[in-house]
């Protein structure tokens, strides 16, 4: 028969049919409070055993009731820690639900449970950690795995609420027109009305933070405003004059009309690069210099600096890295062995080099004391901080001026990187040899 219906008078109803019926009416689980209560498994260090509290449960439509504390024995661990599970075992063939232990494997996870639809069904109560060499089961070794049967939703008045409800019992109180639930000690509103006074732990003061307000939301706005320094787009300015009285200003040379073709000489200066037919050498003479050369001198000092404001390279021929002596003399930075003697190894710690911190920065603006022009510093330059390089113990990369840290020998940074690369090459070679040996062994 493909369709059955039950139960009816004068009709036999099987155990399986009743089981299916009760499964639809109530889920499998323990009928008791969440904390403590029915079929709770307890370790009390009284031996290689756990205790199971009395309780009532429904297992796949079958009921089990225990009215006394039961003791379940556990085997001692042999070679490794083991996880056992205490279960309620439904066995339809035996017509019984019993307390049982599903024993785990040494060193393994918690054992799997048998949960068939019509045969044996094991409902977990707790997992028990059985340590090697222990003679008792402590409370901390037990982890509850119980699931609890659901609660029905009801309706009542404040005077007809359910007696002895389970935790989570939910219903509509028609006296207050509010949904409420049982917490285990009182009835509480499911969605209470929250007022500022009912909020616990609320702060007494609030630290202001950056935020905005719509103009219409601002109270006590002033009707007039004192002017402050600000700017306007030219198109936004009203009542602009049509002509302007002359004032101190400047023009580019190309914008000046009717320029004279010649100029009587007068006291003035020229930049070194603008002078043609310069002599290549100068006989020495008695003279002195101030602490820094001016922009019209041979060298544009990088004192924080001038040259980075105009550092484009042009011209042809061989380019050299140069040194600049304290008196401003240029010389090539040579590396040939013909210029060197007493050559010997120099130890560099690769970890000192790896500790260096690359940074991106902006140059400070500089005031040209001759023209009064402010030259804006270059933005987003990439490099190192000389003081940090000195602190890392690599002071041989640092340039000093007047006894203070001034710059870096970036041309020597490649030398500093050589031992880093050599160490990495050695590591790669060693790893390659180990990999080859492993592949050969396989």
Task: Output the pLDDT for position 97.
Answer: 94
DSSP states of 204-239? SS----S----GGG-SS--SS----S----GGG--S
* Separation in Å, CA 106 to CA 47, 81, 83, 131: 20, 6, 8, 10
CA distance linking residue 129 with residue 300, whole number of Å: 78
- pLDDT (0 to 100) of residue 329: 78
Tokens of 346: 């120099």
Collect contacts of 398-406 with beta carbons under 8 A, ≥24 apart. 402/291
Kindly provide the b/e burial profile for residues 295-327, where b requires at least 16 CB atoms within 10 angstroms of the residue's own CB. beeebbbbeebbeeeeeeeeeeeeeeeeeeeee
Instruction: Kindly give the parts of the chain with pLDDT less than 50.
Output: 34, 288-310
Instruction: Determine the Cα–Cα distance for residues 371 and 231; give it in Å rounded to an integer.
Output: 26
d(CA 128, CA 110): 9
DSSP string computed for 126-179: EEEEE-TT-SS--GGGEEE---BPPPPEEEE-TTSPPSSPPTT-EEEETTTTEE
Please give the model's pTM, rounded to 2 decimal places. Answer: 0.41
Cα atoms in the Cβ-side hemisphere of radius 13 Å centred on 175: 8
Distance CA 130, CA 106 (A): 9
Q: Within a 13 Å sphere around the CA of 433, how many CA atoms are in the beta-carbon half? A: 5
Q: What is the distance between the alpha carbons of residues 321 and 326, in angstroms, rounded to a whole number? A: 17
Domains of the chain by residue range: 24-144, 153-195, 344-418
pLDDT at 426: 93
Q: What pLDDT, on a 0 to 100 scale, did the predictor assign at position 296? A: 41
């Amino acid at each position: 028969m493909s369709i059955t219906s039950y139960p009816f008078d004068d009709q036999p109803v099987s155990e399986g049919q009743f089981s299916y019926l009760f499964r639809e009416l109530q889920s499998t689980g323990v009928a008791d409070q969440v904390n403590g209560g029915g079929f709770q498994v307890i370790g009390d260090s009284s031996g290689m055993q756990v205790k199971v509290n009395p309780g009532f449960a429904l297992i796949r439509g079958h009921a089990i009731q225990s009215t006394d504390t039961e003791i379940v024995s556990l085997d001692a661990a042999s070679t490794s820690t083991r996880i056992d599970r205490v279960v309620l075992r439904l066995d339809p063939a035996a017509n019984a639900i019993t307390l049982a232990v599903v024993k785990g494997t040494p060193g393994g996870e918690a054992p799997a449970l048998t949960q068939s639809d019509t045969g044996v069904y094991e409902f977990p109560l707790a997992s028990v950690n059985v340590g090697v060499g222990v003679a008792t089961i402590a409370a901390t070794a037990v982890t509850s795995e119980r699931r609890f049967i659901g609660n029905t939703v009801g309706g009542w008045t404040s005077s007809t609420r359910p007696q002895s409800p389970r935790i989570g019992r939910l219903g509509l109180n028609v006296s207050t027109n509010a949904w409420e639930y049982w917490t285990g000690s009182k009835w509480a509103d499911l969605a209470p009305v929250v007022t500022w006074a009912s909020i616990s732990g609320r702060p007494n003061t609030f630290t202001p933070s950056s935020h905005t307000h719509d103009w219409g939301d601002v109270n006590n706005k002033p009707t007039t405003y004192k002017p402050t320094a600000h700017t306007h787009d030219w198109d936004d300015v009203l009542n602009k004059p049509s002509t302007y009285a002359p004032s101190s200003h400047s023009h580019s040379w190309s914008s000046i009309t009717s320029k004279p073709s010649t100029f009587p000489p007068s006291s003035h200066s020229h930049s070194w690069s603008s002078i043609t037919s310069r002599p290549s050498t100068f006989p020495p003479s008695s003279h002195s210099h101030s602490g820094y050369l001016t922009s019209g001198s041979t060298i544009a000092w990088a004192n924080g600096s001038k040259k980075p404001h105009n550092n484009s390279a042009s011209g042809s021929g061989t380019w050299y890295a140069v040194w600049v002596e304290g008196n401003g003399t240029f010389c090539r930075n040579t590396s040939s062995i013909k210029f060197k003697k007493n050559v010997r190894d120099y130890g560099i710690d690769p970890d000192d080099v790896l500790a260096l911190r690359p940074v991106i920065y902006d140059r400070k603006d500089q005031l040209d004391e001759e023209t009064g022009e402010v030259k804006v510093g270059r933005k987003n330059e990439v490099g190192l901080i000389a003081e940090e390089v000195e602190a890392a113990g690599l002071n041989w990369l640092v340039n000093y001026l007047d006894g203070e840290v001034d710059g870096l020998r970036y041309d020597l940074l490649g030398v500093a990187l050589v031992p880093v690369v050599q160490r990495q090459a050695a590591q790669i070679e060693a790893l390659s040899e180990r990999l080859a040996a492993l592949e050969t062994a396989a």
